[in-house]
Amino acid sequence: MFSHVKDLQFEAKPDAPDAAFARRLQEVLGGKWGEMTVANQYLFQGWNCRLPGKYKDLLLDVGTEEMGHVEMICTMIARLLDSAPLSIQEAAAEDNPMLTAIYAGANPAHFIHSGGGPLPADSNGVPWNGAFITASGNLLADFHLNVTAEAQGRLQVARLFHMTDDPGVKQLLRFLLARDTMHQNMWLAAIEQLKDDGLEEMPVPEAFLDAEQENQFAYQYIDFSSGEEAAEGRWASGPTPDGKGQFSYQSTPTAHAGAPELPPGDPRLHCTPPLGN
C-alpha cells in the first residue's frame, strides 16, 4: 500500500525560469538511466522478490524513495517552465539576448503536450520505455545492475550540474548526487550481504561445473587485439574474484570447431540453395 506525502524530500525550486534546462533535466527523469527507470526497476525487483525480509524491504524502500525523486524533478521542470516565454517575440521583448537563447533551446512539447509541465520522456522527447527496467528474480544479478544504474544516473546528474548556474537547481542536483552516492554504496553493501548470508555466489547464477566443460574456458582471457598489452591486466593472471579458479591468458584466438556446413533449407521457406543443388 502506497501513501503520498505532500511534502517533498528536498526543495525543488529554481531561482529563474529556464526552458532549455528543463529540457535537459528531462534526461534524468525519463531517460534510460533516469529516475523513472530506477524507481520502477527497484519496485519491480521488490515485487518480484520471493525472499521476505530485509532484501525485499530494501528494494521497496529505495524504489519508493526514487518515486519521490521523480516527483521532485517533475516539480523542478514545471517551475523552470513557469513564466518562460512562449514565443520569440515574447523572449525578445525582455531585451535580453540570453533569454532569447534560452527560449531557443526549449522543447515545444513541454508547452504543446503537457501545458508547461514535465513529460515521461528523455531530453530529446523520446518517451520513457518499460524495457529500460530489469527485474530478473536473481538478487545478485539485479544488485550489480543497480550499481550500474546509480553510477550512470549520477554521471548524468554530475554533467547537468555543470550546465546550469541557477543556485536553486544546483541545490537539488547536489541532493541527488548525494543520494546516488548512498545508493551506489548501498547496493555494493547488499551484494556483500548476499554473499555473507550464503544466498548467492559469483558467477551469476552460481557455478555448476557439469555445464562448464571442466573450466576450460571459464577463466581464460582471449586476446583478440594486436599486441599483448591486455596481458598486463588483473583479468589475465592470478586468482579469480570468485575464488574458484586462476585466470589464464591466451595471446591468439584458437578455433575449436571447423567451418559450419548447413543443409539446404526447407524449400517452402524460399531460401537461396547452396551451389550444386
- Domain extent listing, the chain: 19-196, 210-250
Predicted pLDDT of residue 100: 63
Length of the chain: 277
69 annotated ligand-binding residue = yes
**Contact present, 19 and 173 (Cβ < 8 Å):** no
Q: What whole-number distance in Å separates Cα of residue 191 and Cα of residue 242?
A: 13
Q: What is the pLDDT of residue 155?
A: 98
Say what percent of the chain tops pLDDT 90. 74
3-state helix, strand, coil split of the chain in percent (to 5) is 50, 5, 45
Cα separation, 201 vs 191, in Å, equals 9
Mean local confidence (pLDDT), 189-210: 87
pLDDT reported for residue 213: 55
CATH assignment of 19-196? 1.20.1260.10
Give the model confidence (pLDDT) of 241-252 as tens digits. Answer: 988 889 999 999
**Confidence (pLDDT) at 87:** 76
Measured in Å, how far apart are the chain's first and last C-alpha atoms?
A: 66
Q: Is a pLDDT exceeding 80 seen at residue 193? A: yes
Query: Is position 192 annotated in a ligand binding site?
Result: no
Question: Does the pTM exceed 0.75?
Answer: yes
Q: Given this model, what pLDDT does residue 207 score?
A: 65
pLDDT at 129: 98
200 labelled as ligand-binding?
no
Residue 150 counted as an annotated binding residue: yes
**Tens-place pLDDT, residues 78-135:** 999 998 877 767 776 666 666 665 667 889 999 999 999 999 999 999 999 999 999 9
At 201-224, the pLDDT tens digits run 888 887 666 665 556 788 899 999
Known binding residue 227? Answer is yes
168 is in an annotated binding site: no
143-171 pLDDT, tens digit per residue, is: 999 999 999 999 999 999 999 999 999 99
Determine the Cα–Cα distance for residues 109 and 122; give it in Å rounded to an integer.
12
- pLDDT number for residue 262: 85
Residue 183 annotated as part of some ligand binding site: yes
57 is in an annotated binding site: yes
* 162 assigned to a ligand binding site: no
